[in-house]
Amino acid sequence: MYRVWIGSAVLAIILMSGLNQRSHADDQADIAALAAKIKAVDRFGKGHLEASSAVAELSNLPPSSIPIILQEMRGCSPLAANWFRAAIESSSQSDPKAVPTSVLKDFLAETANDPYARSLAFDLIVEQTPGQGPGLIETFLLDPCMELRFMAVEQKMQEVAKLVEEDKSELATERYQILLEAARHPDQINAIAKQLDSLGQPVDLNQHYGFLMGWSLIGPFDNRNKVGFDTVYPPEEEVNLSVELEGKEGAKVEWQPFTSEEDFGLVDLNEAVGKNMGAVVYAVTEFTVEQETPAEIRIGSPNGNKVWVNGELVISNHVYHAGNAIDQFAGAITLKPGANQIILKICQNEQTDSWAQEWQFQARVTDATGKKISASK
């Protein structure tokens, strides 16, 4: 009887374990289905109702489910990340002591996990154990998650500023140079460069960012009533720098070389081709690498813009005067060995307001973190 009783107990444990495993698997499947609804919502609001319902359901799950939700964030958009944040914060606030901090630390330490999810995990850890924040931030200086890296650079910048106050200029210069290589956010890069300049170590920001300075330009072509953005003008079909083309109102236009001398690689098209309204200009350059290289083409422009790399359209934004910033738009590309052709189409509309007269762009080639890729000579 004794042996039979032990066997029954073991069997009961095995059966209960099996039930728990099935329950856990079911939880994962349910969470995955809800997460898919959140990740499916687009910036135009499609799927909004489904995502709202999914957020509500995730919000009601216990904090023990948070690591599973974080795993399901993989590949989510910035918009979806905000929805996930709302759900996870609600879940964590339902029972803060039940938040599995040790599991979240392991999740945070795995840099292959989704960057938005890792950033959220960090916030939850700090909420539960505030004193651990600075120590964790210290480890993020070269992190692939740009939010975490930003915090690390910011923390280090404050430390180096104290060295300057203490008149330790040589050590401060050395530390700032390390931070310049680690930083990816333009505000931090520019601030560090300013500090280095004050310490007698000026930084060539055009070279540091890797802005493309030399271009061949042609235009203007017609963009009255915004028709030019979708009109396929000859440079989109073939680039022949020696030919003359018919431009806006039948005027003959030719390719002209142009080298930017402006900060941040800015190409002012009002200067380069003349002030025009309702117009399109094409800019072409080549970028040479020795081997196949995954990369991003990044541009800033307040105007309508398209970008092709080796004939493939990788950026397209039919917007006008929505601001201008470094790396405002980006497209993932794969550079082939040898010369890679980059074509930009920059469209100016017909607004007459003084603030709408900028017609310009800047461009560079980077890795996925925003570090410049250097072209082969």
Q: Give the pLDDT confidence of 11-23 residue by residue, as tens digits.
A: 333 334 443 443 4
Residue 27 — very low, low, confident or very high, per pLDDT cuts 50/70/90? low
DSSP one-letter string for 249-285: GG-EEE-EEEE--SGGG-EEHHHHT---SSEEEEEEE
106, part of any domain: yes
Strand pairing class (244-246; 293-300): unpaired
Same domain, 199 and 268: no
Same domain, 213 and 350: yes
Domain boundary among 203, 238, 268: 203
Is it true that the peptide bond before 220 is cis, omega within 30 degrees of 0?
A: yes
Choose the weakest-confidence range: 41-45, 176-180, 223-227, 337-341.
41-45
CA–CA distance, 202 with 194 (Å, rounded to integer): 8
Q: With CA atoms as reference, report the closest residue to 282 among 350, 341, 330, 327.
A: 341
Share of the chain above pLDDT 70, in %: 93
Same domain, 227 and 354: yes
6, part of any domain: no
Same domain, 85 and 114: yes
Domain boundary among 203, 224, 243: 203
Same domain, 248 and 118: no
Q: 142: Cβ–Cβ under 8 A, 6 or more apart, which residues?
A: 149, 182
Q: Contact, 265 vs 213, CB < 8 A? A: yes
Same domain, 315 and 225: yes
Same domain, 179 and 221: no
143, part of any domain: no
3-state SS class at 114:
coil
133, part of any domain: no
CA–CA distance, 241 with 238 (Å, rounded to integer): 10
**What's the confidence (pLDDT) of residue 349?**
96
Residue 26 — very low, low, confident or very high, per pLDDT cuts 50/70/90? low
Number of domains forming the structure of the chain: 3
**What's the confidence (pLDDT) of residue 363?**
98
Q: With CA atoms as reference, report the closest residue to 88 among 43, 41, 49, 38.
A: 38
Same domain, 241 and 330: yes
2, part of any domain: no
In terms of residue numbers, what domain contains 87?
16-128
- Has residue 152 got a pLDDT over 90? yes
- Mean per-residue pLDDT, 230-247: 97
**What's the confidence (pLDDT) of residue 43?**
76
- Has residue 218 got a pLDDT over 90? yes
Whole-angstrom CA distances from 43 to 47, 55, 317 are 10, 17, 14
Q: What order of strands is seen across the sheet that includes strand 293-300?
A: 267-268, 360-366, 293-300, 329-335
Same domain, 216 and 164: no
- Mean per-residue pLDDT, 16-44: 71
Residue 361 is part of a domain; what is its CATH number?
2.60.120.260
337, part of any domain: yes
Same domain, 97 and 193: no
141, part of any domain: no
295, part of any domain: yes
- The model's pLDDT over 332-363, given as tens digits with 9 standing for 90+, comes to 999 999 999 999 999 999 999 999 999 999 99
Same domain, 217 and 189: no
Q: 278: Cβ–Cβ under 8 A, 6 or more apart, which residues?
A: 222, 223, 224, 225, 226, 228, 348, 349, 350
Same domain, 174 and 271: no
Q: Which H or E run contains 18?
A: helix 2-40
Choose the weakest-confidence range: 27-36, 49-58, 228-237, 257-266.
27-36
Domain boundary among 203, 226, 246: 203
